[in-house]
Structure 1
Amino acid sequence: MPDDQGRRAPGFSFFGAWAFGVEEALVAPRARLRWWWFLLAVWAASCGPCGFQPEPGVKVVVPAMPTTLDWSHSDPDSWANYPVMLATQRGLTQLGPDHGVEPGLAERWGRVTDGQGRDVYTFHLRRDVRWSNGAPLVARDFVIGWRRALQGRERGEMADLAGAAEALALQERGAPETEVRAALERVGVEAVDAHTLRVTLARPRSYFLARVANVYLFYPAPSADLEGKSDEAVRDYFDRPRDGRPLALGPYRVERWDRAGERVRLVHNPASAFASPLAEGETPAPVITLMKSEIGPALYERGRVDFVFVDSAAALRIHRPDDLRREPLLSTYFLAFNTERAPLDRPEVRRALARALDREALLAGLLPVARPSHVLLPPELPGAATAAEAERLPRYAPEQARAELAGVAGLERPLRLIYRSGDGFVPEVAIAERVAAQLARVGVRVVLEARSDFSAEISRRSAQGPRTYDLYLRRLGADYAHPNTFFTLFEREGNHQTGWETQAGGEPMARFERLLAQGDGAPDEATARASYVQAQEVLVGEQAVIAPLYHPDRYYRARERLRGVDVDPFNFLALRALRLRAVAADAPRAEDAP
């Protein structure tokens, strides 16, 4: 390995063995064989990170290791942290089977509007919830946790709280710590008593209860453990799990975090109030080892691990194993239009292109199951469009599309379609090829371009100003179970890169954002839903900024003895309900493998 100065440190290596003269040495065949067995043994013993190192309990291969165990101080790569956070912590609310909001850490709550027009929630906490050391959950834990989140790397996520804007602005301009601390004291999160939490929002937010269920920045922190500690001591608390810390509320807690070996070991938390009910013959999983490995599917085939994602749509077309499982995601894959570049600067042209796409044919045979769609909001999402409302959006009508596109100036040139390079659980290459073929049938030529720098390419502008692409393909996934999460990408400050804020002098987008504001601030679900339905009609129908294609699913493989292991609708590994069941033939089991 390199030393601190980047030089090659002395020591054994395969190449070093040759350099020392093994290749030229006159070694007897039997001695040479012993030498190669020795090399093989050294290689095998050093292969922990590749997935072969023995680990206890259930072994789960994950796409990435967490970047932190401190759920209040997350970062832009927070998606990698969710499997651990969801297994070890809980929110004030949780989602039911229909993705509706249900009680979580709070057994009930009330909502009123104060004299300043702000939403004020009063949450009554469950009294049977305890941290993994037996200490009771108290309202102060939320106060400390949310104040810490307001100082973390994703503090902007807390902006809906009353007083948060002031605290965030002070930090942005580098105000003295005393000023920042005083502003944090004024933020709208208050412990009325040990089991009553009062939360004041800067303005009504219909999505708030859905957000606190799934966005882990809103989870409580163990105030008794953290208060009074220095910043360095708090970092050490989360970075070096030991002695039962960091504490947990969920059915598991972190026992060990091996960054070099890319392993996280979770152990069962018997103090959790959220233990999954056990059926006859089921037991809790005492240990779960999360590991990253580039050869996860091979390890699963050899019985070395118990769970692995199937991240290759191409592989699914060739082999669909009997233990393959599927989870429908709250997600939409769509075709976007560059609205600043002729002839796509005309909404009637964009609508015609959307009508030229046969979603059923686009997905046929590519996946075990597919959910083609011409709407943005997945039908499983609370507040999604009804069938009658969906009928008003552009859908497959090839003859109408051909007539509308005939003679359109600017379509003589080929349109440039950008998509992400590489293989994933979305069959992007096949969809791109089929989109090009279907548009060719209505007289539109398309040139395909796979890009490893996809995000940079769709934002790149020409010397004349407009972006250089014509079309791009992209997946949008929900962060929480609410329509708002599907629309924020397409706001003026969103990273949609379609240029539609310039259409008709900006009036359509301004109207779209007013509808979102009405939905976000609506006093009840029905009023909010009506606004979101209209917003979808502006985005997908009237302006046709995007053409939704389908709602993706995530595929994975799991041993038969694993019960309750799942992928949640936000595309995160869900271990909260994991149990083990004895089965007669679940071969090969990971711990039985040689």
Structure 2
Amino acid sequence: MHRFIRILARGLAFAVLLGGFSSTAQAETVFNKGNGADPTTFDPQQMAVFAEAVVAVDLFEGLMTYGANGNAVPGAAESWAVSDDGLTYSFRLRADGKWSDGTPVIAADFVFGWQRLVDPKTSSPYAANLDAVVNARDIRTGARRPADLGVRAIDAHIIEVTLAAPTPYFVASLAHHATSAVSRANVDRFGADAFKPGHLVSNGAYSLAEAMPRDHVKLTRNPYFHDAASIRIDTVMLYPTVDTEAELRRFRTGRLDMTYDLPGQEIQALQEAIPDQIHVTPYRGTYYYAYNLTHEPWRSSPELRQALSLAIDRDMLVRNATRSHELPAYTFVPPGTLDFPGWQPDAARLTQAQRDAKARELFARAGYGPDKPLKLELIYNVSENHERIARVIAEMWKKKLGVVVDFRTEEWGPFQATLDGRRFSDIARNGWLGDYDDAYNFLQLEPGGSGPLNATGYANPKYRALMARAARETDPATRGRLMQQAERIMIDDMPLIPIYRYMSRHAVSPAVKGWVDNVQDVHLTRWLSIER
């Protein structure tokens, strides 16, 4: 027996809420956005960072998508059914779902996309997103073939998915761009060029028109999108800008309708001058530094790793350097995560003076001091905010422990490759923004194995065993406790340094209508309009 859950399409309902669509001929409506770093790919299974995800959610629509408030709502699937044991899902695709070339989106396209996601040859940073599906883990580690994944096309419009264990967050996770369908016909035709402008076909509200490195990405309305009649922005222009001061100047002169970020030192003045245009919102994410545990001295010295973490005055950092009301972080999973018991390590309950004293004690125990100073390299991607944070932290380490820090910066594309390949000597800036409201989405980053998201190379068998038990556990409370135990082990091991909880920071023009602040910081253009 199946417990059938019918979910109606929400597109027209959102269109009514946002205002009716007029068929009257009008001038082209353009949405100009800052977008941080240059996208390095438009392959939904390989897009890895927020500047790419911003593009992905407009280009691609998974079985689920994001509503205006950031919550998961029906996307390419109009309904689904769940078996009584919670292991089998049957998704029904919309009959009017089409690719941007006018061909139908069919169940086989999702099967192909998902098999491609977990195939080690794809090297997707989000391959673990499908770990709940039967055989997914074995496939991405090379033990089984992609064809063994627990997903199949029953017919052109029905997809059946079999899970290894009941997974409460599974449906919500399918809004993530990595689980999008991919047109096999298009890949067969163009091969490696299938994801380039001029060849890419997508099933979202927009299609890819142009991509000029270091200049712009241009998206245009997809006339074949199932809810095309409600789309009121014709063109999206995204401008890569890592200099937040320059981006803010473009916004102030009207060349941008929205900034990707804001310079921290400007936020208070901006909130006073144009409060209705400044959006600083809590974000489900953690800013952190990653140790390379495949190198010494980090591999063999948890005392050294703990010492550097304790010496960071997080309260001072967010007060004087980031200035966006961020919350200091001593754990990786954000507080308030669904079914995850919140906790704080001992370090969080100490005064900074006590943390500094403990740091000096551990630093000496690790064999370092005036007669043997520690020298390290800190790498981060080009950004004035990252640079400011790095220099403040380096000064704390120098003053308290005598650490000598060399800095190295890279543009986003090379930096991402550096993280993925662990091609850094000592410490690298990193961050994670949750894709759905579940602790697994954070703790999978350090699963005790290999993979692009495990930049530290962390591997603890006890941690891995607890995460494996949590993956099989059906009771939400027990599952949460198991993951909390795993995080406690990880924080004791300190493969990474949690620094603060993110805040999303944007300036948004009053001309932009339909904007809703949300913890996902996801804002699909289909829910917005421009009224100049």
> TM-score, normalising length from structure 2?
0.71
Residues of 1 paired with 2:228 and 2:335: CA distance? Answer: 29
Partner of residue 122 from structure 2, selected from 153, 158, 162: 153
| Deviation for aligned residue 1:150 | 6.1
Residues of 1 paired with 2:510 and 2:175: CA distance? Answer: 29
| Deviation for aligned residue 1:399 | 5.1
Partner of residue 470 from structure 2, selected from 486, 505, 519: 519
Q: Does 1:196 align with 2:167?
A: no
Q: 1:132 to 1:533 in 2, by over 3 A?
A: same
Instruction: Report if aligned partners of 2:331, 2:345 keep a CA contact under 8 Å in 1.
Output: no
Structure 1 match to 2:252: 301
Q: 1:98 to 1:511 in 2, by over 3 A?
A: farther
Q: 1:296 to 1:573 in 2, by over 3 A?
A: farther
Residues of 2 paired with 1:330 and 1:99: CA distance? Answer: 11
Equivalent runs, 1:139-538 vs 2, <5 Å: 139-147=107-115, 149=117, 153-154=122-123, 157=127, 160=131, 161-162=133-134, 187-193=149-155, 195-201=157-163, 208-214=170-176, 216-221=177-182, 227=185, 231-232=188-189, 239=196, 241=198, 246=201, 248=203, 250=204, 252-254=205-207, 256-257=209-210, 259=212, 262-267=216-221, 272-273=226-227, 284-292=232-240, 296-310=247-261, 312-313=263-264, 322=274, 323-335=277-289, 347=302, 351=306, 354-366=309-321, 367-386=323-342, 389-390=343-344, 394-398=348-352, 400-401=354-355, 404=358, 405-406=360-361, 408-409=364-365, 410-412=367-369, 413-416=372-375, 418-420=377-379, 424=383, 426-430=385-389, 432-434=391-393, 436-437=395-396, 440=399, 444-452=401-409, 469=426, 473-490=429-446, 491-493=448-450, 501=459, 509-538=460-489
1:316-345 Cα distance to aligned partner (Å, 9 max, x none): 588666233234333212355677867995
| Deviation for aligned residue 1:364 | 0.8
Instruction: Report if aligned partners of 1:355, 1:395 keep a CA contact under 8 Å in 2.
Output: no
Aligned length: 480
Aligned to 1:300, the other structure's residue is in SS state helix
| Deviation for aligned residue 1:439 | 7.8
Structure 2 match to 1:5: none
Structure 1 match to 2:59: 88
Instruction: Report if aligned partners of 1:372, 1:549 keep a CA contact under 8 Å in 2.
Output: yes
Residues of 2 paired with 1:98 and 1:167: CA distance? Answer: 34
Instruction: Report if aligned partners of 1:125, 1:196 keep a CA contact under 8 Å in 2.
Output: yes
Say which one has the larger Rg: 1
Residues of 2 paired with 1:468 and 1:142: CA distance? Answer: 39
Q: 1:219 to 1:360 in 2, by over 3 A?
A: same
Letter in 2 for 1:325: H
| Deviation for aligned residue 1:392 | 5.4
Q: 1:138 to 1:96 in 2, by over 3 A?
A: same
Residues of 1 paired with 2:82 and 2:102: CA distance? Answer: 28
Q: 1:459 to 1:232 in 2, by over 3 A?
A: closer
Q: 1:430 to 1:353 in 2, by over 3 A?
A: closer
Residues of 2 paired with 1:544 and 1:235: CA distance? Answer: 39
Letter in 2 for 1:372: P
Residues of 1 paired with 2:380 and 2:101: CA distance? Answer: 47
In structure 1, stretches of 5+ residues that fail to align are: 1-53, 173-179, 277-282, 462-466, 502-508, 583-594
1:503-548 Cα distance to aligned partner (Å, 9 max, x none): xxxxxx11111111122232243232111111111111x3344442
Letter in 2 for 1:447: V
Instruction: Report if aligned partners of 1:59, 1:306 keep a CA contact under 8 Å in 2.
Output: yes
Q: 1:106 to 1:416 in 2, by over 3 A?
A: farther
Letter in 2 for 1:548: P
Aligned to 1:246, the other structure's residue is in SS state coil
Structure 1 match to 2:8: none
Residues of 2 paired with 1:284 and 1:311: CA distance? Answer: 27
Residues of 2 paired with 1:457 and 1:68: CA distance? Answer: 16
Aligned to 1:232, the other structure's residue is in SS state helix
Residues of 1 paired with 2:455 and 2:56: CA distance? Answer: 32
Q: 1:524 to 1:254 in 2, by over 3 A?
A: same
1:365-422 Cα distance to aligned partner (Å, 9 max, x none): 3323222222211125434442xx2265644334544554459442424344543357
Letter in 2 for 1:543: D
Quote the sequence identity (%).
22
Structure 1 match to 2:529: 579
Aligned to 1:329, the other structure's residue is in SS state strand
Partner of residue 89 from structure 2, selected from 100, 103, 121: 121
Q: 1:319 to 1:185 in 2, by over 3 A?
A: closer
Letter in 2 for 1:61: G
1:7-54 Cα distance to aligned partner (Å, 9 max, x none): xxxxxxxxxxxxxxxxxxxxxxxxxxxxxxxxxxxxxxxxxxxxxxx9
Aligned to 1:110, the other structure's residue is in SS state strand
Residues of 2 paired with 1:400 and 1:144: CA distance? Answer: 55
In structure 2, stretches of 5+ residues that fail to align are: 1-26
**Aligned CA-pair RMSD:** 4.7
Residues of 2 paired with 1:290 and 1:351: CA distance? Answer: 41
Residues of 2 paired with 1:319 and 1:197: CA distance? Answer: 49
| Deviation for aligned residue 1:58 | 2.1
Instruction: Report if aligned partners of 1:354, 1:395 keep a CA contact under 8 Å in 2.
Output: no
1:136-183 Cα distance to aligned partner (Å, 9 max, x none): 76534423443555677346827745466887799x9xxxxxxx9xx6
Structure 2 match to 1:175: none
Residues of 2 paired with 1:519 and 1:237: CA distance? Answer: 38
Q: 1:199 to 1:395 in 2, by over 3 A?
A: same
> TM-score, normalising length from structure 1?
0.65
Residues of 1 paired with 2:520 and 2:378: CA distance? Answer: 22
Residues of 2 paired with 1:188 and 1:63: CA distance? Answer: 37
| Deviation for aligned residue 1:559 | 1.3
Q: 1:275 to 1:211 in 2, by over 3 A?
A: farther
Aligned to 2:58, the other structure's residue is in SS state helix
Letter in 2 for 1:217: A
Residues of 1 paired with 2:347 and 2:282: CA distance? Answer: 23
